[in-house]
Structures are given as structure tokens and as C-alpha cells.
Amino acid sequence: MRHSRRTVVSTGLALAGAGLLRTWPARGADVTFSDDPFALGIASGYPEADAVVLWTRLAPQPFMPGGGVPPSAVEVEWEVGADERLRTVVRSGTVDAAPDWAHSVHVEVAGLEPARDYWYRFTSGGAQSPVGRTRTAPARGTMANRLSLAVACCQHFEQGHYAAYRAIAADAVDCVIHVGDYIYEGRGTSRVRSHDAPECHTLEDYRQRYAIYKSDPHLKAAHAAGPWMLVSDDHEVENNYAAEHSPLYTPPEVFLRRRAVAYQAYYEHLPLPRRLMPSDGRQHLYTSRAFGDLAAIFMLDGRQYRSPQACPPFPLVACAEIYARERTMLGEEQEQWLRGSLGASTARWNLLGQQTVLAHFDQSGAGPPAYWADSWNGYPAARERLVATILERPVANPVVLSGDIHAFLVNDVHATALDNDSPIVATELVTSSISSAQGRTQETFDGWKAENPNVHLARGDQRGYLRIALAPEQLHAELVAVDDVTRADSPTHVLAAFDVESGSPGVVR
Ligand SMILES: [Fe+2]
């Protein structure tokens, strides 16, 4: 029996005044659900050599306030097995799903073996979740001969189907790297499919939005197929926000309330470790994971600590203000952390997962230079500091994984951004959107590519993701494009492939 069809039964515990309680009596075997409480799926994330995070959220009626679960804690059992049918359970336990966190659970399973697949499932109220696959990282001191990744971002629900996630699920990679715009707070134009929920402002609005997005079977399948690491960008809160600044000049104290509930809903719906749980309206999202001696992946937050975009009205800017030395993308604390962590990394490959385009990219067309104010091109001093950090040690084989622009770009990052004769410091692979629309024509992207010699490919006309196979001597990246984003079952194809050889930054087609 996968799940009971009975309605939620309250079992004698008084619910009066429950909204005021901060600790909840846990209810386990005596709870039953009218519908599948695992309708929003299951997920895993942030793999370590001996540990991984497991996630689910109880929501038998995901589009109802409270998800259809009464406002008390509900006991959830979890099991991790060595085989797909969980015949051999190697770790198990129970955890309380609390209403304050939308009955989500984030289980940090430890004591696992390195570099191997595990399977997991949850049970609550007599209902059992599907079985998910996850994978631990290789151990320190070992050089894995292969690591497979998918890089994804920008998945506007209304602007397209998730055929890209269908392909990611089939790839069953070692880790999915998501670099932002997991939800969109607003409605879409050029709709392929529709939800009738309005722009998000309240905690309930954001929870509903995640419920809508996570109702998609291909997104659920991609989560169930392997672990993820993520950073949010702007649309998880509000388009183009910067730290405590709303682009609509909402008073910061008002905007910070909206940001706090948006951060909370993000945590509630994703397989983040408890260390990345928001508190007091802030969320420490940046972190790293080592994959043995082969790779280290650094996930950066270029949104929560940044200076406001320069020279409004953006998006395209060219004013002197962008060059101010004090302008920051990561904030001082994160810059220091990255300098220390990158400096200490002994990995053969060092991957930076982050939101916006890093490499120099003049988007003026024929005129004098003009830059996308929201990307690193609007924060050139911050980019210089990041490049200096990479050059300092120097960091072995840095590769930047970016998103945001709804286009595939393959870029060289030069030591001096404006000087294409200066040494290449890093390769940047920018993934296109999973489904979000691109307003600009391919002719526009062709024009930008022509005036930026450090840009090897620029395709704004394709949706999709990056599929990366990493080996000690080489990174192989495939740009996977969706044939038809209006179809959930669309095939995908490899649009182009690039290699980066160990010890020589810059791509080979
Ligand atoms: Fe986006």
C-alpha cells in the first residue's frame, strides 16, 4: 500500500491555540493522510564522503494553506539502503516534520561509505514515498577517475515544460548544480502553461509557488535521481534585488520581511543542510564540497551581500560608478572565506557555481561598451578581486559555472578583463535556462559574440542544461539543448561540446 486514502484524522490532541505553540507534540503512527503526503517529491543534496542530506515535505494537498497537514508536528521515518529495493537498510531513523517549516524534513545522514550509490525513502502516516537514489562523494586522498555533473538554472514554470529535467533525471549524475531562479516570484509572459497564482509576497505565496513548480513530474524525477547543490538568485525573492534593496525602492525594512519569508520557503523546499537554514531573515548559502582529490565545488552567493546595481535605470550601463573599488558582489566576509577555501583546496579541479556571467561581456552592439548591470560586468572591481584570488595561489584548474542570462555562453576569463591578450585565468561555462524565455534574438547574440573575442559560443535561442564529465586530465562539457520547450516529452540533443585540459585554462571545441 503506497498510501492511505482516508482523510487526515485528528487524534485527540487539542489543536486549539496550536498556532501559538513553538513546540509541537509529535504524532506518528496515529496520523493518516487522505492523499499522498509525498506529492512534492523527495530529494537529496550536499554530498560528503560519509554523509548526505535527505529532504521531503509532507503536503497531501500541496495547494492548500498548510499543505493539508494539521498544525502539529508529524513523525516521519527515513531509511537508507544499499540496494534499490532497500532490502539492506544501512541507516534509519525518525524525525519530526514541524508546521513552522511547512512540515519539511532535512535529515543529515552520516556514517555512509564514500563514492557509492544509496537509495532512500520516507514513511509517514502509513504512506510511503517513492525510492530515491543518492550518492556520496569520493573520500579525501583518493583520485576518482570520473565525476558527472549537470548544471541548471532559470526554470520559469509558465514559460516552458521541464523536458531538460527529464534528461537530467535520465543522466543520473553524481551531483546537480543549480545556480538560481528555481522559482519566479511573478507571472510570465509568453506562456506555454499557466498557473493562476499572483506575484509572491507572503510566506504562503512563496510556499504555493514552490508547490506549483514541484508538482512537475520531471523536476521531481531529477531530484529523486541524485543529489543537488544550489544557490538562489533574484527571482526566488524579487527580480534584480540586491542585498536589502528592492529595485522598486521598497523601504528596506518592508523588503527584508519579504526576503525573509522567501528565504524560508526556499529552505523548506530544498535539500539544504541545517547549517544553511535561514535565521533572522538571513541565509548563509555559500559553502563547498570536496569530491576526493578530483574536484572541489564552491557554491557562491552573489545576491545577498552585493552592492546595489550601478547607474539606474539599468539593465545596460556604462557609467563611471560601476568601477568604484568598494563595490562588492560577494561581500567582504564571503570574499575572505573564498580566498581561504580556494587557497586551501588541494583538488585537481576547482569549480565555482554561482549566478551571473563573470567574464567580460560587452552587450552594447555597435556602440561604446555597455554592460549588464546585474552581472559581474556591473561589478568590475569585485571581479578583479575574484581573479586576483584565483591567481594568488594559483588555484588549480578553476572553472566557473554560471546562469542567469537564459543563453549558453562559453567564455575565457582573462587576467585583465578588457585585455584579451592577457593570460586566460579560468574558463566560464554559462548554462541556458531550463525553461525561461529569452527576449532577445539570436542575431543579437551573434552580434555580441562578434565584439567579444573571449566568447567562444553565445546561443540565446536554446533552452537546456550543461552536462559535465570530469576526469583528472580533462573536463568535457556538453551543451544539452531541448528540441521543443513547449513539450514535456521533448527530446534533447547535444548542441556543442567543449573540453578543458588540466593545466591549460581555456576551451578546446
Ligand atoms: Fe532567470
* HEC per residue, 286-354: CEEEEECCCEEEEECCCCCCCCCCCCCCCCEECCHHHHCCCCCCCCHHHHHHHHHHHHHCCCCEEEEEC
CA nearest neighbour of 330 among 428, 243, 252, 393: 243
CA dihedral 243, 247, 249, 253 (to 10 degrees): -30
Alpha-carbon distance 361 to 354, whole Å?
17
CA of 190 to the centre of ligand 1 (A): 14
pLDDT of residue 2: 35
The C-alpha cell at 82 is: 544499499
Task: Kindly give, in sequence order, each residue whose CB lies less than 8 Å from that of residue 400, ignoring residues fewer than 6 positions away.
Answer: 351, 352, 354, 358, 359, 413, 426, 427, 428, 429
* 420-443 pLDDT, tens digit each: 999 999 999 999 999 999 999 999
Alpha-carbon distance 476 to 501, whole Å?
9
CA nearest neighbour of 46 among 146, 153, 178: 178
**pLDDT over 50 (residue 278):** yes
**pLDDT over 80 (residue 303):** yes
More confident residue, 509 or 191: 191
CA of 303 to the centre of ligand 1 (A): 13
Residue 225 binned pLDDT confidence (cut-offs 50, 70, 90) = very high
CA of 53 to the centre of ligand 1 (A): 26
Residue 13 binned pLDDT confidence (cut-offs 50, 70, 90) = very low
Q: How far is CA 470 from the centre of its chain?
A: 20
Residue 6 binned pLDDT confidence (cut-offs 50, 70, 90) = very low
Alpha-carbon distance 334 to 342, whole Å?
12
Residue 25 binned pLDDT confidence (cut-offs 50, 70, 90) = low
* 39-91 pLDDT, tens digit each: 999 999 999 999 999 999 999 999 999 999 999 999 999 999 999 999 999 99
In contact, 176 and 218? CB cutoff 8 Å: no
**pLDDT over 60 (residue 10):** no
CA of 51 to the centre of ligand 1 (A): 31
Single-letter residue type at 161: H
pLDDT of residue 27: 65
- Residue 317's φ and ψ, nearest 5 degrees, are -130, 155
CA of 434 to the centre of ligand 1 (A): 9
Residue 31 binned pLDDT confidence (cut-offs 50, 70, 90) = confident
CA of 375 to the centre of ligand 1 (A): 12
CA of 132 to the centre of ligand 1 (A): 28
Alpha-carbon distance 237 to 244, whole Å?
11
**pLDDT over 60 (residue 20):** no
CA of 435 to the centre of ligand 1 (A): 9
Q: If you average pLDDT over residues 241-265, what whole number do you get?
A: 96
In contact, 190 and 243? CB cutoff 8 Å: no
Alpha-carbon distance 324 to 506, whole Å?
29
**pLDDT over 50 (residue 312):** yes
CA of 125 to the centre of ligand 1 (A): 38
In contact, 45 and 108? CB cutoff 8 Å: no
Q: How far is CA 148 from the centre of its chain?
A: 16
CA of 151 to the centre of ligand 1 (A): 14
CA of 239 to the centre of ligand 1 (A): 9
Alpha-carbon distance 146 to 251, whole Å?
49
* 136-186 pLDDT, tens digit each: 999 999 999 999 999 999 999 999 999 999 999 999 999 999 999 999 999
Alpha-carbon distance 502 to 509, whole Å?
15
CA of 103 to the centre of ligand 1 (A): 28
Helices (H), 393-473: 442-451
Average pLDDT over all residues of the chain:
93
Instruction: With residue 291 as reference, give the H or E element that holds it.
Output: strand 287-291
| Count of helix runs (H) and strand runs (E) in the chain | 7, 24
**pLDDT over 60 (residue 18):** no
- Residue 397's φ and ψ, nearest 5 degrees, are 40, 65
Alpha-carbon distance 114 to 93, whole Å?
21
- Residue 133's φ and ψ, nearest 5 degrees, are -105, 140
CA of 278 to the centre of ligand 1 (A): 22
pLDDT of residue 96: 97
From residue 108, how far is each of 55, 103, 272, 284 by CA, in Å?
A: 9, 16, 9, 17
In contact, 241 and 262? CB cutoff 8 Å: no
The partner residues of 218 in beta bridges, in order of sequence, read none
Alpha-carbon distance 253 to 236, whole Å?
18
Residue 35 binned pLDDT confidence (cut-offs 50, 70, 90) = very high
CA of 416 to the centre of ligand 1 (A): 28
Instruction: With residue 349 as reference, give the H or E element that holds it.
Output: strand 349-353
Q: If you average pLDDT over residues 456-469, what whole number do you get?
A: 98
pLDDT of residue 55: 99
**pLDDT over 90 (residue 449):** yes
In contact, 159 and 437? CB cutoff 8 Å: yes
CA of 12 to the centre of ligand 1 (A): 47
Residue 24 binned pLDDT confidence (cut-offs 50, 70, 90) = low
CA of 355 to the centre of ligand 1 (A): 9
**pLDDT over 60 (residue 330):** yes
CA of 356 to the centre of ligand 1 (A): 10
CA of 450 to the centre of ligand 1 (A): 24
Helices (H), 346-432: 380-392
pLDDT of residue 61: 97
CA of 451 to the centre of ligand 1 (A): 24
Residues in the chain: 509
CA nearest neighbour of 500 among 291, 367, 349: 349
pLDDT of residue 28: 58
Give 271's DSSP letter. Answer: -
From residue 198, how far is each of 81, 203, 208, 339, 489 by CA, in Å?
A: 41, 13, 10, 41, 28
CA of 213 to the centre of ligand 1 (A): 14
- How many Cβ atoms sit within 10 Å of the Cβ of residue 439? 9
CA of 346 to the centre of ligand 1 (A): 33
CA nearest neighbour of 113 among 138, 87, 133: 138
Residue 508 binned pLDDT confidence (cut-offs 50, 70, 90) = confident
Single-letter residue type at 433: S
Give just the sign of the alpha carbon dihedral 300, 302, 305, 306.
positive
CA of 348 to the centre of ligand 1 (A): 31
Question: Which segments within 84-207 are labelled E, that is strand?
Answer: 89-97, 104-109, 117-124, 127-128, 132-135, 147-152, 175-178
Residue carrying the nine cell digits 498544525: 71
In contact, 62 and 68? CB cutoff 8 Å: yes
**pLDDT over 60 (residue 7):** no
* 87-135 pLDDT, tens digit each: 999 999 999 999 999 999 999 999 999 999 999 999 999 999 999 999 9
The whole-model pTM stands at 0.94
